Amino acid sequence: DAGVTQSPTHLIKTRGQQVTLRCSPISGHKSVSWYQQVLGQGPQFIFQYYEKEERGRGNFPDRFSARQFPNYSSELNVNALLLGDSALYLCASSLGWTGYYEQYFGPGTRLTVT
């Protein structure tokens, strides 16, 4: 079975631009979470979505937004990019939205802001 997939793999953007990252969960998984991993740090939770509803939000500015589609895929949008947004963005999927369910991580999207 296919695991979590993310696109694109790599992305280079300029400060002030906007970016959209995409994630497809494991088949049958209804929850998607997004994490940001800055170089040398552990991943930080950004959002969790389940059945198209936001279930959790981390401590990130309003420039970050996300949504989930009826097929459970998800997009993460970041507006007005800053240099500090350069990071590996990880998507994780799980069967349900509560802590009972293990999250499975995708390969990530490497975003570089210049």
Partner 1 sequence: ELKVEQNPLFLSMQEGKNYTIYCNYSTTSDRLYWYRQDPGKSLESLFVLLSNGAVKQEGRLMASLDTKARLSTLHITAAVHDLSATYFCAVDFSRDYGGSQGNLIFGKGTKLSVKP
- Binding residues for partner 1 (CB under 8 A): 33, 35, 40-45, 48, 55-56, 58, 90, 94, 97-108, 110
Q: Which tokens is 59 given?
A: 């401590």
48 and 97 Cβ atoms separated by less than 8 Å? yes
Closer of 73 and 107 to partner 1 (Cβ): 107
Q: Which tokens is 10 given?
A: 């790599």
Least CB distance to partner 1 at residue 16 (A): 27
Query: Which residue type occupies 22?
Result: R
Give residue 113's Cα distance to chain centre. 17
Closer of 42 and 70 to partner 1 (Cβ): 42
Closer of 39 and 83 to partner 1 (Cβ): 39
Per-residue DSSP letters for 33-70?
EEEEE-TTS--EEEEEEETTEEEEE-S--TTEEEEE-T
Least CB distance to partner 1 at residue 94 (A): 7
Least CB distance to partner 1 at residue 13 (A): 19
Closer of 85 and 103 to partner 1 (Cβ): 103
